[in-house]
A and B are shown apart, each in its own frame.
Chain A
Amino acid sequence: MECGRHLNIEILTLSEVVAVTGQAGAFSVTVKKNPRFIDMDKCIACGICSQKCPKKVDDEFNMGISKRKAAYIQYGQTVPLKYAIDPKTCLFTTKGKCRACEKFCPTGAINFDDKEEIQTFSVGSLILSPGYKPFDPAGIDFYGYGKIPDVVTGLEYERMLSPGGPFHGHLEKPSDHKEPKNIAWIQCVGSRSTNRCENGYCSSVCCMYAMKQALITAAHLPDGGRQTLFYMDIRSHGKEFELYYNYAKEHDIRFVRARPHTIEPGPGNTGVTMRYVTEDGRQLKEDFDMAVLSVGMEASADALDLSQKTGIELTAYNFAKTGSFTPVSSSRDGIFVSGCFKGPMNIPSSVAVASAASAEASKALISAKGTLTREKKYPAEKDLSGQPPRIGVFVCSCGSNIAGVVDVAAVVDYAKTLPYVVHAENNMFACSTDTQELLAKVIGEQNLNRIVIAACTPRTHEPLFQDTLKEAGLNGYLVEMANIRNHNSWVHQKQPEKATAKAMDQVRMAAAKVGLAFPIQELQVNVVQKALVIGGGVAGMNAALGLADQGYETMLLEKTDALGGNAWHLSTTAKNEKIRPMLEQLIQKVESHERIEILKNARLTSSTGTVGNFTSSIQIGNESREIQYGAAVLATGARESEPTEFMYGEDARIMTHLEFEKELAERKDRVQSAGSAVFIQCVGSRNTRRPYCSRVCCTHSVQNAITLKTLNPSMNVYVLYRDMRTYGTREDLYTEARRRGVVFIRYDLENPPLVAKTDGALTVKVTDPILGMPLELTTDYLILAAAIVPNETRELVELYKCAVNADGFLNEAHPKLRPVDMAVDGLFIAGLCTYPKPIDESISQAKAAVARANVILSQNVMQLDAIKSFVTDHCDGCALCLDVCPYRAITLTQHSDNGHTAKKISTDKALCKGCGLCAATCPKRGVMVHGFTTEQLRAQVYAALDLIG
């Protein structure tokens, strides 16, 4: 919705790239716009075309489980919310007859003369984001997909579970429409397999979505039913995902480590009968009501086509080829990639790489910055002080969408009887351009100072009407919408009288509220166009470099005397790129950048101010200094923990990953001559003390295991693990390690390996779950995959009033949709400080943080939202609201009043988000939210109960 409304984003729908010529900074992109057959300017999304359309086709959004019409929208929240006619199925475009939509469309928006258009755009950068395709399991005969009705894919099941889906959220078995109670999920369908498909990689997201579906299903059933996940390794390697896995286990989701080999129709041709072999070799047969195939992701045909047209290189799996140090750059200069086109990833990673791609794309356009962007200007606001409300009510017919159910004429007549209403009229379409002009004219003629629009939802249309008011010289907050369409005529279609009565109530409530509305001033902040980056590791340096390249003076604060952080101790990435040369080059670039000031041995000691304008003191050695900045990126990092188990510290042959990296670098000969090496995974992770997965260690161990096998193929290399979590294309390394003869032995948290030293020999005892027998391994090296723990941030967290999770990692504003923003506006996070992650993901986040900070820093003056809390005279400083404010926007202040001092709260407008928790807590009406004051809400309640007027 934000994209759709943005002044500087033009959305080209039904369009495809035909050709890309030119080079970075000056591309020419030829785009084919397919005809929509509906005029977007005229379409009001009433849906009548779809209702009247006689042609039913499979609804691809619901994975073909339900039907849609040939005149359609993909789903209710479509942006732009405009209907389209599908020329492949429309009766008129295919057979030359029908045109029912055209006959019934109330705005004359149907245009069968619409033609395909070719347009050429000049752009400086390109971002490719063609997404992925869910794996089609129809080709794998033993799963019975497509033949057994109760075998569905994960995405189909997702739609079946959805309240907006084909079954309205009521679970049904496809075979007999009865409620399934006992469902099996089968993991890794079309992933981690080179047998029946070519997808050797892990799709990264399926373990989590299957667990989510199982939990929702269980919650749906009165007794939870019996939900089972068949898996190879559970990969809950994301932030707080391991907690979710534990939660699923505690809530009776059954996890079975097996890959079912045959699914047959169940008894009576409903449900399924599944055959599988357990880890200890037992052959089992079990019946389920349904089987859900957790299908993975693969590159789509569109993505292949797009890569050919743009001339970029792909990987063996047809994902876009990128480097770990340039994670969003394609092989062609000026073309960037984001989302699952880069490889399988979940939503937070997708959002982060999308921001990173926008940072890179805008960096390339820096010389032309601001030349084509648009801004809107309004006339000065009229002074309304002392004027009583003069309310105008505009009742929209929305064609027949409202007028077909609600008696709009009666609503207009009724509105005229309400207090302070001086004008009421009916409009065919309140949102049309001519009505907007009319509205502005009537405001002037009738000297209206409050407006009620009885039409559709404020969530989509309030900005439009606010804009019209502003153009007419009124404050934008003097309009109130009565939603008589979405919340009335559309949902009470068979009760016109009651709908009309409700519409009158809604108008009365809106008029009562708007009568108490006052102009609200949008808060402005003068932005200090400078940035602060805290932490000089790879993430921090990338953030600093990105911000400086965008043109901002950037201070890079590092607590030690050297830049580089953990990267100094790492040799190669998962893609086998050498880290040291990259690091040295990065440091050199940062040190020589004219807009970067490096502050070593420095720490932050105070912080005041808010988004756009922070002031902090920093301590550098013995000196103290004050700095100002508009935004900050926190990249405080994490480190390898020191193990407390497996005899660590008692023998030189027992070492952590980083110590072993050093050993490999400095004493290669000794390593090469070793007879055996044992890796133990999850040392200090995924236990009660640290209930999270450290994400990087499985790949790290596998990489080093391969290195050992390369140095000395006859060496016995063992990896003792709980679940191998080589997610994404890292799975190839796991496959490679096994191919080279690395032995992987699984252990449980309850039954960990035992390390002992007898007569100088180091031994590890572990029970092999497949043999069911204890093994004793004598080893020359024992490498412990020690947990990654966050660096100390307590001081910073206190200064910035920002949030950390229970494990000490800094928290994002929203775990999925705002992965690099902190809840405190103007602060961003990147790298290991949020959660353990490999170098490419750290760099992606750093670049993403640059893009997000750029939104603030690119403006001289920043406009803040106007819906904020304010303090009234009733406040007596009881401070109850201080504790409930989730944004810590309230402080208690002393002020003197006629000689005696009193306490009162003060709210920080920049920190406040207008949630009103303070208002609901205050026993004295001492604090309220603009536009939603207690008086206004009460007026609505009274009006609803018909107690005024």
Chain B
Amino acid sequence: MSEPFEPKIIGFLCNWCAYAGGDLAGISRIQYPPNMRAIRVMCSGMVHPELVVEALTKGADGVMVMG
């Protein structure tokens, strides 16, 4: 039996909203799956589309840009 599929997700989180939301989820102890790796950015607008494509081609199962 193969292991259940665990997606690898890259998240680009805006420092001022999504990242802060992540912090608040922690303070509130809201439990969620540990599949996303967060990259903090100063604005979701600074995420180059090339980087999103690159993440997907290099093996990420999903990319979230949150801002």
Contacts and interface: CB of A to CB of B under 8 A. Distances in A.
Interface of A: 47, 76-77, 164, 168, 457-460, 483, 485-488, 490-495, 498-499, 501-502, 505-506, 509, 867, 914-917, 919-920, 922, 929, 932, 934, 937-938, 940-942, 944-945, 947
B54 A920 contact: no
A494 B31 CA distance: 8
Contacts of B39: 509, 937, 940-941, 944
A77 B12 CA distance: 22
Main secondary structure of the interface of B (DSSP, over half): mixed
B64 interface: no
Nearest to A886: B45
Contact of B10 (A47, A486, A501, A941): A941
Contact of B45 (A76, A460, A915): A915
Contacts of A494: 31
Given A917-B43, A937-B47, 4 more contacts: A486-B22, A505-B37, A941-B10, A941-B55
Contacts of B37: 502, 505-506, 509, 944
Given A502-B37, A509-B37, A916 B58 contact: no
B48 A920 contact: yes
A13 B26 CA distance: 24
Contact of A941 (B15, B31, B46, B58): B58
A97 to B, nearest CB: 27
B42 A934 contact: no
Given A938-B51, A941-B58, A947-B58, A487 B23 contact: yes
Interface in B29-58: 29-32, 34, 37-43, 45-49, 51, 54-55, 58
B20 to A, nearest CB: 6
The 7 closest A-B pairs by CB, nearest first: A916-B46, A486-B26, A490-B26, A915-B43, A944-B37, A76-B27, A917-B45
A932 B22 contact: no
B19 A934 contact: no
Given A487-B38, A945-B8, A915 B29 contact: no
Contacts of B47: 920, 937
B37 to A, nearest CB: 4
Chain A CB count within 10 A is highest, among B19, B29, B43, for B43
B4 interface: no
Contacts of A168: 30
Contacts of B34: 488, 491-492, 495, 498-499, 501-502
B58 A491 contact: no
Contacts of B51: 934, 937-938, 941
B54 A938 contact: yes
A495 B35 CA distance: 12
A520 to B, nearest CB: 13
25 contacts: A164-B24, A164-B28, A168-B30, A457-B19, A458-B40, A459-B15, A460-B23, A483-B23, A488-B34, A490-B29, A491-B29, A498-B34, A501-B34, A502-B34, A916-B42, A916-B43, A916-B45, A920-B45, A929-B46, A937-B12, A937-B48, A941-B55, A941-B60, A945-B55, A947-B59
Chain B CB count within 10 A is highest, among A499, A917, A919, for A919
A916 B26 CA distance: 27
A859 B10 CA distance: 43
Contact of B42 (A492, A914, A942, A947): A914
A917 B43 CA distance: 8
A932 B42 contact: yes
Contacts of A917: 43, 45-46
Chain A CB count within 10 A is highest, among B15, B32, B46, for B46
Contact of A491 (B10, B15, B25, B43): B25
B26 to A, nearest CB: 3
Nearest to B32: A491
Chain A CB count within 10 A is highest, among B23, B32, B47, B58, for B23
B23 to A, nearest CB: 4
A8 B8 CA distance: 45
Nearest to B46: A916
A153 to B, nearest CB: 24
B31 A493 contact: yes
A495 B34 CA distance: 8
Contacts of B41: 916, 932, 937
Contacts of A509: 37, 39
A364 B43 CA distance: 40
Contacts of A941: 10, 39, 51, 54-55, 58, 60
A459 B23 contact: yes
A82 B29 CA distance: 17
B5 to A, nearest CB: 14
A917 B5 CA distance: 35
A942 B45 CA distance: 20
Contact of A459 (B20, B30, B54, B59): B20
Contacts of A942: 58
Contacts of B15: 459
B21 to A, nearest CB: 9
Contacts of B23: 457, 459-460, 483, 486-487
A867 B42 contact: yes
A677 to B, nearest CB: 53
A945 B59 contact: yes
A125 B54 CA distance: 58
A671 to B, nearest CB: 56
Nearest to B20: A459
A487 B58 contact: no
B60 A492 contact: no
Contacts of B28: 76, 164
Contacts of B30: 168, 491
A914 B46 CA distance: 9
A487 B55 CA distance: 21
Contact of A483 (B10, B38, B49, B55): B38
Contacts of B32: 491-492
A184 B54 CA distance: 50
Nearest to B13: A487
Contacts of A458: 40
B49 to A, nearest CB: 7
A202 to B, nearest CB: 33
B60 A945 contact: yes
A486 B27 contact: yes
Contacts of A488: 34
Chain B CB count within 10 A is highest, among A485, A488, A491, for A491
Given A914-B42, A916-B43, A934 B48 contact: yes
Given A459-B15, A915-B42, A915-B43, A487 B48 contact: no
Given A506-B37, A916-B42, A76 B48 contact: no
Contact of A77 (B24, B43, B49, B60): B24
Chain B CB count within 10 A is highest, among A460, A490, A867, for A490
Contacts of A915: 42-43, 45-46
A485 B42 contact: no
Contacts of A920: 45-49
Nearest to A942: B58
A168 B25 CA distance: 11
A946 to B, nearest CB: 9
A492 B31 contact: yes
A938 B39 CA distance: 10
Contacts of B22: 483, 486-487
B4 to A, nearest CB: 12
Nearest to B30: A491
A509 B40 CA distance: 11
A947 B42 CA distance: 25
Contacts of A491: 25-26, 29-32, 34
Given A490-B27, A490-B29, A919 B42 contact: no
Nearest to A931: B42
Nearest to A45: B27
A577 B39 CA distance: 58
A940 B58 CA distance: 13
A941 B29 CA distance: 26
B36 to A, nearest CB: 9
